[in-house]
Structure 1
Amino acid sequence: MSEQNRRLLLTVAMCMVVALVWSVFFQPKPRPAGTQQATPAATAPAEKQPPAVTPEPAVVPRGTTAPAPAAQAVRPPTRKVELLSDKLRIVLSSDGAVMESAQLRGEKFQKREKGVVVPIELVRVKSGEPFPLASSVRTANGADAVGANAAYSVVRADERSAVFRAVVGGVTIEKTFSLDATRYRLDLAVDLRAANPIAGKFALLSTGEGESGSGGGWFSSHTNAPARAICQAGGKLERIAVGAKTPTWDGPGTATFTGIDEQYFIRAVVPPSNAGATCHLEARGDGPLISTVEVPVDLASGRSFNQSFIVYAGPKDPDDLAAVAAPLKESVDLGFWSVIASVLLAVMKFFHRVVPPHNWGISIILLTLTVKVLTFPLQHKSMKSMQEMQRLQPQIEEIKKKHAGDQQRMNVEQMKLFKEHGVNPMGSCLPMLIQMPVWLALYTALQVSVDLYNSVFIPGWLEDLTAKDPYYVLPVAMGITMLLTQVLTPTPMSQPGQKTMG
């Protein structure tokens, strides 16, 4: 083994040891996903919940109607309502008419915590902060005509819908929630009436809890990506995480959606397209994330304000997102090479659909082989050009010695040599650069594909394709493969008279 190979082997080995030590001892440990501090109901398995109002003393029976109060001098007791569909379990609270829990239903979106299988919880807020879908009515001078913590009464509730009403200072606000039966969609209709004229804004909050992420890597689990506040406004998409250099952002134009974004899931609010909605993002240093959408209110005495919002709470699957609202597809971050990444994702889904046993791990292998085959001509051309350059190396060295003091003459003679032998000096690296976007897009596509979440490749070993290898077999195998490739690659002959191998 040459000295150069020994140095390379030592360098690669040291890098692997450093990465392993960093992962085990120094990498920041993220807070387990799905932990909610303020809602006990959010940690109960979704499949075992009764299809009725959350069992509390003050729950309104389904199908009943409560009289609308003329005034609310005394704060009514807190009441919670559970909405169920094939996709979601939603828990609403009369304290602000907010969403206290949003759990995904189905085996794919479950995880094990302390030996108990629980559904994925999408509502995670810091203690003391408002829950998602808290709303307020602000006057032109910034005062709250109706605060985010207003006490609501449950007017009506059934398995798929609930109506909440609050009366504050002559302002009556009614929020009607309707859960879609087959999609990750919750519709929110807001009806606002006032005894006196009001000019200001109606604000609807999306809240969450973020943290500074470690940045990920080969040895990181899929929970390392922190939540971020997200908004698309004026054709620009912005995400803000805890620790961002600029912790606030105001949309430059009409907002199309806003919410709390994670690596594989999102909670988003889509405002009415013709309402002139704007958005504001904020990521506080102690963890709270706030994404606010505001709609102008100009309410004359005795008139009403009616607006309908779409709420998405679910996985970042392009098809599911588009089925609820087309702009939500933009929340899937495919990076700079998004066009290539979209094609690669489509090919991977094709392999999963047509190749038994319909395993996502096998689909990834087939996709990688496909990309390898398609880029092989470029790789072969690069290797061939490299070999040609190595064959000319002795003559290049002679030119360097002969014209050591004349750089311009040296360059002229080298280019003349390349032209005589039909060699392009950039031929070895240019094909490599051309195929780099494909491999970068492949990496990004696999990073954001929710199809891989909780997908088993090899039972007992790779139980989740988005999580790290629990035994570090694959990283070690990759390192060994790199070392073997380097060792087995023949060293090119440096003298033209030497016999060529192979």
Structure 2
Amino acid sequence: MDDQNKNLLLATALSAVVLLGWYAFFPPPETAPEPGVEISETAPQTGATGTPATAPSAGIAASEGAAGLVTQDPQDAPRLSIDTPRVVGSISLLGGRIDDLQLKDYRETQDDDSPIVTLLSPAGQPNAYYALFGWAPGTGLGIDDVPGANTLWQAAEGATLTPDSPVTLTWDNGKGLTFAREISIDEDYMFSVSQSVTNTRDASVALAPYGTLARHGEPANLENFFILHEGVVGMADGELSEIDYDDMTDLDPDPRDGSRAQVTAVTENGWIGFTGHYWMSTLIPAPGDAFRAIAKYDERRDIYQTDVVLPTVTLAAGESTSANTQLFAGAKEWAAIRDYERGGIEGFLDSIDWGWFFFFTKPIFAVLHWLNAAIGNMGVAIIALTFLLKILVFPLAYKSYASMARMKELQPEMEKLRERAGDDRQKVQKEMMELYKREKVNPAAGCLPILIQIPIFFSLYKVIFVTLELRHSAFFGPFSDLSAPDPTSLFNLFGLLPWGAPAPDSILALAFIGILPILLGISMWLQQKLNPAPTDETQALIFAWMPWVFMFMLGGFASGLVVYWITNNVITFSQQYLIMRSHGYSPDVFGNIRKSFKRKEKNAEK
């Protein structure tokens, strides 16, 4: 086996092993069963000095007789409407919860009659998910003296929350404390919640403002895909933390209420919340404020919870105080999140799961986003991005293909060398190394483009899979979602018939692959033919099957990734052909194809 074929075989085998490992570790995501919903109450915990230790656990209180507290079905409570250009929903006056929110710009599927995406849902409904705010009692106060999950707030009749009109909720505990909560929202997905309290008592009181995000059970659409983080995400003074839902059961136990919790002290800047594939809800204290970020799981009630608890405030008689917290609840749009980060929310762009190769994925997506905005078609933008990436690695590719051409020129000398050395392999290797050194040829240079391609491939796969901008993004014709596998196949005459292709995880999908994977296999096969066919039958068999193995392996991947891979193969083929010709070696591509068919005919005759 000559060294050129060794290098090509090594690089191809390495790529195959990496992709097979990727496919094995990252199987198609499975949908988790929808969990049940439990509603209950836990009183806030206090420390020995009366300072609140955590925010109250989320739930519906059943306390009766306490001022302002009622026993009421949260779905029957009075509500204030939310209506902005991008979201619609309502705020429950029971607890002042932001618990009903839908995203106007996004639908569950691509069907015209598909419902818009629901992000937040009231307690009592399946997969309840909501935000609430309040004050945890400290010295001189009891749980009934502060607003909680079951407080019935007052608001102006008919008030509607819009970007131009904030709403104000009020509650008087009847014991000398008056609470107010002003809620506003911007044109996108950011709520601002300003909580204030006035003390008209004769004595001072202590209390701590908090915000809570609570979800009852795991999300119904949890994907459980290894490449994607779903669960708690937070930033604490520049350090990003992520906790998967299934890892929250391993948090440190809290002996006071039996829950599992992780408490992080944040000195200046941070945020915490829940993130999914495309949607996120995050609590964000004002920049510069110290607070405690809490991730919590209550196994008894199956409630996941994140809290931000600000420092305790001692309020003298006649004094007032306020606290400001933001709530992001919406789509993980790169441009919107970037603007919020530029507006002062430190590290907010890291809420998008960029992965281990973030130094690749972040700039790759930034360029892809810019190209899509300029071109207006995400598929064409991916093709343009591929050209830019190939330009960046062109110097390396040039050296590699030039080295491959020089290797071909040395082929006659290498054959003579083998004849002279006979079966003495050590002598053959030694003389070959001397030949390479004398002719200034690097036999491993052919592997470099493929080795460079692997992290780029993984980074682009991450970008295409996790970013919202690829969701339901069209290319042309039947390719209406570049984040999904190729929708065409022989089963629907490659998109000509009005029904879909077999599901990607079905056995039929292996037989009825789409037009993009077929083009991928052909482009790999043509690229392979740039090199003379191996003389060894085993090598020839491996090389003959490799493009078609890759074709079926990548058939279930996102079609945007396959578009990239096809474009990359075509560019690589063109580069290699032209560079090798410029160095005196003229690859007989079609001659190699003819020889391949003749060899197969001879094997068939045998």
Q: How does 1:81-92 map to 2 (within 5 A)?
A: 81-92=80-91
Q: Is 1:210 the equivalent of 2:218?
A: yes
Aligned partners of 2:458, 2:244: CA distance in 1, in Å? 23
Q: How does 1:223-262 map to 2 (within 5 A)?
A: 227-244=230-247, 246-247=250-251, 248-254=261-267, 255-262=269-276
By how many angstroms is 1:252 displaced?
4.8
Aligned partners of 1:230, 1:200: CA distance in 2, in Å? 27
Structure 1: segments with no counterpart, 5+ residues: 39-69, 218-224
Q: Is 1:469 the equivalent of 2:476?
A: no
By how many angstroms is 1:216 displaced?
6.7
Among the aligned pairs, what percent are the same residue?
18
Q: Is 1:110 the equivalent of 2:107?
A: yes
Task: Give 1:133's aligned residue.
Answer: 131
Amino acid in structure 2 at the alignment position of 1:259: G
Q: 1:419 to 1:260 in 2, by over 3 A?
A: same
1:36 and 1:123 in contact (8 A); partners too: no
Structure 2: segments with no counterpart, 5+ residues: 39-65, 252-260, 488-500, 502-512, 537-584, 589-606
Larger-Rg structure? 2
Q: Which moved more, 1:93-102 or 1:414-423?
A: 414-423
Q: How does 1:65-84 map to 2 (within 5 A)?
A: 71-72=67-68, 78-84=77-83
CA deviations over 1:158-185 (Å, ceiling 9, x no partner)? 34332223344844432221122x2322
CA deviations over 1:409-440 (Å, ceiling 9, x no partner)? 99876643431221235433345444544443
Aligned partners of 1:29, 1:485: CA distance in 2, in Å? 39
Task: Give 1:179's aligned residue.
Answer: 185
Amino acid in structure 1 at the alignment position of 2:179: I
Aligned partners of 2:419, 2:280: CA distance in 1, in Å? 59
Q: Is 1:352 the equivalent of 2:372?
A: yes
After superposition, the CA RMSD in angstroms is: 4.5
Aligned partners of 1:125, 1:113: CA distance in 2, in Å? 26
1:88 and 1:102 in contact (8 A); partners too: yes
TM-score (normalizing by structure 2): 0.60
Q: 1:485 to 1:147 in 2, by over 3 A?
A: farther
Amino acid in structure 1 at the alignment position of 2:315: A
Q: How does 1:29-428 map to 2 (within 5 A)?
A: 29-30=31-32, 71-72=67-68, 78-106=77-105, 109-112=106-109, 116-123=113-120, 131-139=129-137, 144=143, 146=146, 148-156=148-156, 157-160=159-162, 161-168=166-173, 170=175, 171-180=177-186, 182-194=187-199, 195=201, 196-208=203-215, 210=218, 213-215=223-225, 227-244=230-247, 246-247=250-251, 248-254=261-267, 255-282=269-296, 288-302=303-317, 303-326=319-342, 327=345, 328-355=348-375, 358-385=376-403, 391=411, 395=417, 402=424, 415-428=433-446
Q: Which moved more, 1:187-196 or 1:371-380?
A: 371-380
Amino acid in structure 2 at the alignment position of 1:297: T
By how many angstroms is 1:475 displaced?
6.4
By how many angstroms is 1:271 displaced?
0.5
By how many angstroms is 1:93 displaced?
0.5
Q: 1:434 to 1:116 in 2, by over 3 A?
A: closer
Aligned partners of 1:339, 1:418: CA distance in 2, in Å? 36
Q: Alignment partner of 2:330: what SS?
A: strand
By how many angstroms is 1:31 displaced?
6.3
2:233 and 2:240 in contact (8 A); partners too: yes
1:381 and 1:431 in contact (8 A); partners too: no
Q: 1:114 to 1:462 in 2, by over 3 A?
A: closer
By how many angstroms is 1:388 displaced?
5.3
1:207 and 1:260 in contact (8 A); partners too: no
Q: Alignment partner of 1:335: what SS?
A: coil
Amino acid in structure 1 at the alignment position of 2:194: A
Aligned partners of 2:337, 2:486: CA distance in 1, in Å? 30
Aligned partners of 2:121, 2:402: CA distance in 1, in Å? 55
Aligned partners of 1:137, 1:399: CA distance in 2, in Å? 87
Kindly indicate which of the two structures has a greater share of residues assigned to helix.
Answer: 2
By how many angstroms is 1:84 displaced?
0.9
CA deviations over 1:79-104 (Å, ceiling 9, x no partner)? 11112111221311012111111212
Q: 1:241 to 1:259 in 2, by over 3 A?
A: same
Aligned partners of 1:287, 1:401: CA distance in 2, in Å? 71
Q: Alignment partner of 2:247: what SS?
A: coil
2:372 and 2:381 in contact (8 A); partners too: yes
